[in-house]
Chain A
Amino acid sequence: MLLSLLPFYPLISFLLIVLLKKQLSWWQTSVLSVGAMLICAITSLVLLNTLNQAPDGVITSHLWRWFSLSDGDSFASVNFSFYLDALSAVMICVVSCVGFLIHLFAAVYMKEDENFSRFMAYMNLFIVAMLILVLADNLVLLYLGWEGVGLCSFLLIGFWYQEKANVLAARKAFIVTRIGDTSMAIGLFMLFNSLGSVNIVEVNELATAQWQVGNNDAYWICLLLLGGAVGKSAQLPLQTWLPDAMAGPTPVSALIHAATMVTAGVYLIARMNGLFILSPQVMNYVAWIGASTLLLAGFAALVQSDIKRVLAYSTMSQIGYMMLALGAGAWSAGIFHLMTHAFFKALLFLTAGAIIYALHHQQNIFKMGGVLKRLPFESGLFIIGLICLMALPGTSGFFSKEAIIAHLWSSPTAGQALWWCAILGALLTSIYSCRLFFIAFLSKERFSHQVENLSSVGLKISLITLAVLSLVGGFLAPDLSTVFAKASQEVSHMVEPQWLHAVAIATPIIGIVFSWFYFSKYRSVEPMNYQKAEQNQNPIVRFCFSGLGFDRLYEILLIKPFVAIARLNKRDVVDQLVMSLTWYIGLWRDVLVYSQNGLMRWYAAAFAIGLVCFIGGWLL
């Protein structure tokens, strides 16, 4: 009962806000939306508790039948029903708890905005879609949620639609993820075609029962589903939308583009583990996509100047870790990292938002400097977020990331090369985190405005809660063994060298020490030419700054030809055909006008010609 109600709290709030938009004051809107989220969060925690007592570790709730599918002999109904097991329980807790905290923050942060109620309505709608995505017991319902979050993402990136750049970013995000969604839809069709069911549990069971490992159908279906996951989670070929998505308000970046929506791809792969385990080749692709994304994003994050873009690239890189974990078969570790990442990345984004607000919407780190002295509270929280991101021992990031890295070396679908990639990624993470911290928080202040502190209780509560969760999240490791019982592989750790763990733990610290000396000029008190540092003309730096040139590549490969075709079509090939018709008709009009000349003999001749044609045709 509780389960079936879960997505309806934010839905009701969304509807009320949309319908009563004009009548509600800031206070009422906030209470409505944040209150709905609070109920959601409490319900999720209660559900998590009940799930532990449930006999088979599963709670289901059937609402109504949506429609039924049939392909001749077999018959499958698509239901509006929810399925809660340990995996989705973790997800709903993350979504609703982090969602609640971010709503709380957003209510304060967006108070001045004239479209405040629209913002809160979209946020609530997003939570509805995300909960449907997570709780869906069949892939069609999941796809509904999947598209719903995509829509909300689009609406919220373009929330300040008066500026063209935001609209372009929203459009880009929508189109790029649409590519992945299309691939996923095709995958779903193939899945239904070959297994005759879209129910997630059934699909996993049927696939294990009917297909051998390495089955061709399984390979293609997994590859297509991976396409969807890659689009939504901003992984390698389709990652370009995420940095631009930072055009939206900061709470949106925190909620959608860091904590929840972008991890939907990870969730999808984990959900379909029974299918993916049948196709080790695709698992290997998943691992390699994750690894290459995390390195690419790491390099790009090293040279960014916008604080939110640094965090965006870091998000991509952390999701890369999750993908790597899934590809290596470390399902639980991947989901664990998803959870901890949601906590500390939400914290980082919200703190960054608070700092940006205090500095009058200044996002460029080269124009900040000395924030530590001016905003000690926010800075402290930011440091907590950063050490979690770097995975220093004792923090939540440490537990989850080490769990992933420990799995890689001897996994059959990963291997040593990927282990080294992960270590390099961890090193990059600590270096770019340090660079960000040194440039923005140390040294002298380079801004002239008075800082404007957001001193609201709600805001502080949400930030502190998130900080606490980030720190202790490591001890909340979910027990997912029931979900992944079939999919977990027997891995022998016998052949691993002894120094692996030591290296993994030492890597972030090495990175910090390296940055301490390498970026010494950034933390020195002497004034230096930041203008020059920002506009670094080194081609390699420029290349990394542009996200390793993927935007440019896609522009040359796809956008230019498309625009060229569109230009060509603007002069209208089809229209030319239609115009030729009018020309033809005009020609006949001229002929007829000429023939309508009033000359008696002419008419008689025309009559004769007609008669000749008629008789000739009749004779032939």
Chain B
Amino acid sequence: MTAIPLEHVLILACILFTIGFFGVIVRKNTLFMLMSLEVMLNAVGVAFIGAGSVWQQADGQVMFILILTLAAAEVAVGLALLIRLQQRFKSLDIDCLSQLKG
């Protein structure tokens, strides 16, 4: 049992998540969106670790490791796509990719 209450850990996770989400929605630059996503994933990791330490279970850390792999894969693919985007549109503006509209 750590001295840090679970509520506070979760509040931290929520604040980080919200900041990351704010970034995803607000920034037009795709690179910043990817960074914001990293912040969001990180926030989820905080929540897992916090929960794991409160209940003294290793599962939280296992989940964090899985999230870590996910983040690595996501960043790899995302950055590769960004390179193509840059080559094609000469810009990293996400609003260039609006061909999905009906």
Q: Which residue of B lies closest to A611 (CB)?
A: B21
Write out the residue numbers on chain A whose beta carbons fall within 8 Å of the beta carbon of B97: 598, 600
Least CB distance from B38 to A in Å reads 15
Residue in A596, A598, A604 whose beta carbon sits within 8 Å of that of B99 in the complex? A598
Q: Return chain A residues, CB-CB under 8 Å to B102.
A: 593, 596
- Which B residues between 16 and 65 are near A, CB-CB below 8 angstroms? 21, 24-26, 28, 33
Q: What is the CB-to-nearest-CB distance from A595 to chain B, in angstroms, rounded to a whole number?
A: 10
A608 pairs with B25, CB closer than 8 A: yes
Shortest CB distance B26–A (Å): 8
Q: Mark A593-607, 1 if CB is under 8 A from B, else 0.
A: 100111111001100
Residues on B with beta carbons closer than 8 Å to the beta carbon of A608: 21, 25
A604-B95 Cα distance, complex, nearest whole Å: 13
Please tell me if B70 contacts chain A, counting CB pairs below 8 Å: no
CB contact between A597 and one of B21, B33, B94, B101 (< 8 Å): that residue: B101
Closest Cβ of chain A to B97, distance in Å, is 6
A600→B95 CA distance, assembly (Å): 7
> What 0/1 pattern do residues 578 to 612 of A give for CB contact below 8 A with B?
00000000000000010011111100110010000
Interface residue count on the A side (C-beta < 8 Å): 10
Q: Is the CB of A600 within 8 A of B94?
A: yes
Q: Please name all residues of chain B whose beta carbon is closer than 8 Å to the beta carbon of A600 when the two chains form the complex.
A: 33, 94-95, 97-98
Q: Interface residues of B toward A: which range?
A: 10 to 19
Checking A593, A597, A604, A605 against B98 with a beta-carbon cut-off of 8 angstroms, the contacting residue is A597
B100 contacts chain A at the CB level, 8 A cutoff = yes
> Which of B21, B98, B99, B101 has the largest number of chain A CB atoms within 10 A?
B101
Q: Cα distance A600–B24 when bound, in Å?
A: 9
CB of B15, distance to nearest CB on chain A (Å):
15
Pick from A596, A598, A600, A605 the residue with the most CB of B within 10 Å.
A600
Give chain A's interface secondary structure class. helix
Q: Which residues of A contact B26 (CB under 8 A)?
A: 601
| Set A596, A601, A604, A605: member contacting B101, Cβ < 8 A | A596
Give bound CA distance, A121 to B37, whole Å: 89
Residue of A nearest to B18 (CB): A608
Nearest Cβ on chain A to B14's Cβ, whole angstroms: 12
CA distance A604 to B21 in the complex (A): 9
Most A CB atoms within 10 A — which of B97, B99, B102?
Answer: B102
Assess whether A599 is in contact with B95, with CB atoms less than 8 Å apart: yes
A604 touches B25 (CB 8 A): yes
Q: Is the CB of B25 within 8 A of A599?
A: no
A608 to B25, CA, bound (A): 9
Chain A residue numbers with a CB within 8 Å of B24 are 601, 604
A617 to B88, CA, bound (A): 43
What chain B residues lie within 8 Å of A601 (beta carbons)? 24-26, 28, 33, 94-95
A608 to B23, CA, bound (A): 13
Binding site for A on B (CB under 8 A): 21, 24-26, 28, 33, 94-95, 97-102
Supply 17 further A-B pairs (C-beta < 8 A) apart from A597-B98, A599-B95: A593-B102, A596-B101, A598-B97, A598-B98, A598-B100, A598-B101, A599-B101, A600-B33, A600-B98, A601-B24, A601-B25, A601-B95, A604-B21, A604-B24, A605-B25, A608-B21, A608-B25
Q: List 28 A-B contacts (CB under 8 A).
A: A593-B102, A596-B101, A596-B102, A597-B98, A597-B101, A598-B98, A598-B99, A598-B100, A598-B101, A599-B94, A599-B95, A599-B98, A600-B33, A600-B94, A600-B95, A600-B97, A600-B98, A601-B24, A601-B25, A601-B26, A601-B28, A601-B33, A601-B95, A604-B21, A604-B24, A604-B25, A605-B25, A608-B25
